[in-house]
A and B are shown apart, each in its own frame.
Chain A
Amino acid sequence: MKLNDIVNKLPLKVNSYSDGLQKDVSGGYSSDLLSDVLANSREGNVWITLQTNLNIVAVASVKNLAGIIIVSSKKPPEETLKKAEEEKITIMTTSMPAFETAGRIYQLLQGKNV
């Protein structure tokens, strides 16, 4: 499944690097601890978080994540989006909380309609 397939089926807004929507999604990881994501996320995961600070871009870049979904209507600051464009990281935002976001993406990845 491509990141684009998820964006098309869920209420997500793309905030940076829309070219990245063609990336394959290997799975998802939901966490707000950057060190936990560094340690435990897998390449190609879509990362669900409420963190918005600059460091999320570096973490996503190092771990080669498919993209970052910022939940609960949190707005990433301009510096984060600028860095995300530079590092070619797709950041999406949604009004859904993390629980619903993860649940729906999990179902999509299982081949179910949500």
Chain B
Amino acid sequence: METLRTFKADLHIHTCLSPCADIGITPSTIVKRAIEKGIDIIAVTDHNSAENTAAAKKAAEGTGLTVLAGMEIASSEEAHILALFDDIEGIMRLQDIVYMNLMPGKNDEKRFGYQIVADENDVVLGFNKRLLIGAALLTAHSIVKIIHLFGGLAIASHIDRSFFSVISQFGFIPEDIKFDALEISFRLSREEAERKFREYNHIPWISASDSHRIDDIGARTSTFFIKEPTIAELSSAFKNIDGRKVEWG
């Protein structure tokens, strides 16, 4: 039997690139705070963009913290879906597809907020002008398929929320959308989630902070029992292969 270790993970963190996030939640600050909180794996998951993932990865180099390259995509039904990849290449391919299908329009910084692209030292590289608060004109079904095609994991975001979740938008989790896991938000306890979402207990659950401010990081984490902090191992944990598993709450 291979040696499994525990990895504490916060797989849903926004940066200053997300219009609704605080401008102080920069790539390097996230890395510092995650390490302080004893977290082993984080995922940077901005709305419909991944332009700050490379900076977070660079900021974490040599620290022992693993940064997964992620994105939180809004589907045409306005269901939010987390995409997680090991490397920048996968997420950039996905970003190309999302950008091609993002509803047109320019961000209105005064109303929606700033969309700051920063480097690993918090130097502002520019402002993303796209309407990241909008949605991609791709169905949840096709988004999950594309994520899988590119080798990533697809997780249904905060299924307990009354808006922007697969359940709020579809009324249920469609069986033909093959989510690797479902995310329960920090708002719900494990017990409440088990009462409410019993019918979906055949799909693995995680929980994460969905941080929009630096102080939120680690407010909710999931613990993975895996060999190493990779997408392949997270996937094995979801499928309970050879003792691998995920726990929270």
Say whether chain A's binding surface is mostly helix, strand, loop, or mixed: helix
**Secondary structure call for the B interface:** loop
On whether the beta carbons of A33 and B108 are closer than 8 Å, the reply is no
What is the 8 Å Cβ interface bit string for chain B, positions 158-179, against chain A (1 contact, 0 not)? 0000111000000000000000
B77 and A33 form a contact (CB under 8 A)? yes
The one of A35, A58, A62, A87 in contact with B135, judged by C-beta atoms closer than 8 angstroms, is: A35
Asked if A51 and B163 sit within 8 Å, CB to CB, the answer is yes
Contacts of A33 in B (CB 8 A): 77-78, 135
- Using CB atoms, name the residue of chain A closest to B137: A35
Chain B CB within 10 Å, residue with most, of A33, A35, A38, A62:
A35
Question: Is there contact, CB below 8 Å, between B112 and A34?
Answer: no
Size of the chain A interface, CB-CB below 8 angstroms: 12
Interface membership of chain B positions 62-80, coded 1 if the CB is closer than 8 angstroms to chain A and 0 otherwise: 0000000000001011100
Do A53 and B112 touch across chains, with their CB atoms under 8 A apart? no
Q: Is the CB of B78 within 8 A of A34?
A: yes
Residues of B within 8 A of A62 (CB): 108, 111-112
Asked if B134 contacts A38 (CB within 8 A), the reply is: yes
Within 8 A of A (CB), among B141-167: 162-164
Instruction: Give the interface of A toward B (CB within 8 A).
Output: 33-35, 38-39, 51, 53, 55, 58, 61-62, 87
